[in-house]
Amino acid sequence: MHKILTIILSFLFSFQVITGQINFNKQTISNAGEKSYFTDGSFTWTLGEILVGTISGTNVIFLQGFAPTLLSFNTSPTSPVAYPATNILQDGFTANWSPSTGATGYYLDISSDENFSTYIAGYNNKDVGNITFIDVSGLTANTTYYYRIRAYNSFGTSLNSNTVQVLTLPIQPSSIGVTNLEICSGNSTILYYSGGSGTIFAWYSGSCGGSLVGTGNNLQISPSSTTTYFGRWENSSGNSSCLSVTVTVNQLPTAPTSVSASQTTICQGQSTIFSYSGGTGTTFAWYTGSCGGTPVGTGNNLSVSPSTTTTYYGRW
């Protein structure tokens, strides 16, 4: 609010002092002796002029030929500057602003609407006292808020500060999972999540925030070895905590380098011994009929007694 003070001097001229904008007219005063007053090294003037200036925030008339006259009239404080929020959390943040000249306190507005058509409960013209930051709580995660400040003193309230936008942190998912916890090398499985909120859901391997694997729900993966995956919600202010899931990858067996029989020709009723060498796998199995056909047995040095000429197959 601008307060206007009009002063009529005996020299039959007048001038106005307006808070925030000072207007004055130069007037000639006859027979005035030349004097120059230095106030904090800021102001001088020449013969026959009247100036209006400021000394340490107090409006002053500089009248050539007379000592400066101090005018102590009511002025409201200047508008503060709102600074970016700090300490952003899921349910709050710290609002910051600059001190205002002449302020004895500040009012804070917070809204989820940039036009401040509505307010967050308890933050419509909230008197926060004579401070330049305040912790705000009780907000909703992953939500955009706006705040602004006004300074006040016993003479009035400043105009609004600039508006600061704040996005609270996202919420972690309630669960993550995978369609197959155990797969064979070369196969794939699907990562999925539920719950939480944020701008984007990101998957990592190695650690939470490590190597980016992909984004979104129902992400297909084909790990070459056993891998732990980490999933979290993210937005421009930060990230939620991660949940993790491990996919076990079973490596495919490798073929034996050779198989053999202790005797490849036997009489009916006799037996022979099967053996193998090389290759890798969990179990070495023997079959007849075809590879993977009718199981005969497992392991090395397997004794068999076929009743007819038979072909045997061995694999890991």
pLDDT tens by residue, 126-165: 999 999 999 999 999 999 999 999 999 999 999 999 999 9
Domains of the chain with CATH codes: 4-71 (no CATH), 82-167 (2.60.40.10), 175-250 (2.60.40.10), 258-315 (no CATH)
**pLDDT-based confidence at residue 74 (cuts at 50, 70, 90):** low
pLDDT, residue 94, reads 98
Cα–Cα distance for residue pair 176/190, rounded to 1 Å: 11
Cα–Cα distance for residue pair 253/76, rounded to 1 Å: 83
- Please calculate the CA angle 177-182-188 and round it to the nearest 5 degrees: 80
Give SS3 for 25: coil
Which residues fall within 8 angstroms of residue 137, CB to CB, at 6 or more apart?
A: 91, 92
pLDDT tens by residue, 254-289: 999 999 999 999 998 999 999 999 999 889 999 999
Structure tokens at 169: 């942190």
| Inter-residue contact 219 to 227 (CB < 8 Å) | no
